[in-house]
């Protein structure tokens, strides 16, 4: 499974006085999509951390095309484009109910050994779940 979608409604607390989503909230939307993608594979961030692996974001790029508004139902599509090694890279599309593209994004995360505080290879359990 290289792709997943998650939908949710924009909450009032995520917007400014004009009802427009604050730009910083998009990073949380991307994280939500990534976490759920991983969970659908049967792996959680929590279990990875308990196994000594963390996944810090080392690169984040967002292209804002149209504003997301209060009470919009948005869908975040996450796509894993290539087999992870030490890094794992995702592309995203965020659309509203009308199917309008609101934003595109890309994140790169690195698998880190928590004890050594050094990059490490993607856990085999994750590689086994991917269709490569």
Domain ranges of the chain: 2-130
CB 7 within 8 A of CB 72: no
Q: Are 85 and 121 in contact (CB under 8 A)?
A: yes
DSSP state letters, 8-42: EEPPGGGB-TTSBBPTTHHHHHHHHHHHHHHHHTT
Q: Are 32 and 117 in contact (CB under 8 A)?
A: no
93-126 per-residue burial string, b: 16 or more CB within 10 A, e: under 16: bbbbeeeeebbebbbebbbbeeeeeeeeebbeeb
**What is the pLDDT, as a whole number, of residue 132?**
60
User: Residue 102: phi, psi to the nearest 5?
Assistant: -95, -35
The pLDDT tens digits along the chain (132 residues) read 689 999 999 999 999 999 999 999 999 999 999 999 999 999 999 999 999 999 999 999 999 999 999 999 999 999 998 999 999 999 999 999 999 999 999 999 999 999 999 999 999 999 999 976
Spatial separation of the C-alpha atoms in residues 126 and 122, rounded to whole Å: 7
Is 128 annotated as catalytic? no
Which listed residue (16, 72, 91, 113) is catalytic? 16
**pLDDT score recorded for residue 25:** 97
Query: What pLDDT was estimated at residue 81?
Result: 86
CATH number 3.10.129.10 given to 2-130: yes
Query: So what's the pLDDT on residue 15?
Result: 97
Phi, psi of 50 (to 5 degrees): -65, -25
The pLDDT score that the predictor gives to residue 29 is 98
Q: Rounded to an integer, what distance in angstroms lies between the CA atom of residue 43 and that of residue 41?
A: 6
């Amino acid at each position: 499974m290289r792709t997943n979608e998650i939908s949710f409604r924009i909450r009032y607390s995520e917007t400014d006085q004009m009802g427009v989503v604050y730009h910083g909230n998009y990073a949380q939307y991307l994280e939500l999509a990534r976490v759920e993608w991983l969970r659908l594979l049967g792996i959680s961030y929590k279990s990875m951390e308990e196994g000594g692996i963390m996944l810090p974001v080392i690169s984040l790029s967002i292209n804002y095309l149209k504003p997301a508004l209060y009470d919009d139902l948005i869908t975040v599509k996450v796509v894993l484009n290539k087999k992870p090694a030490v890094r794992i890279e995702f592309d995203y599309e965020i659309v509203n109910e009308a199917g309008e593209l609101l934003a595109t994004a890309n994140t790169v995360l690195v698998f880190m050994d928590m004890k050594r505080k050094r990059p490490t290879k993607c856990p085999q359990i994750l590689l086994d779940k991917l269709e490569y």
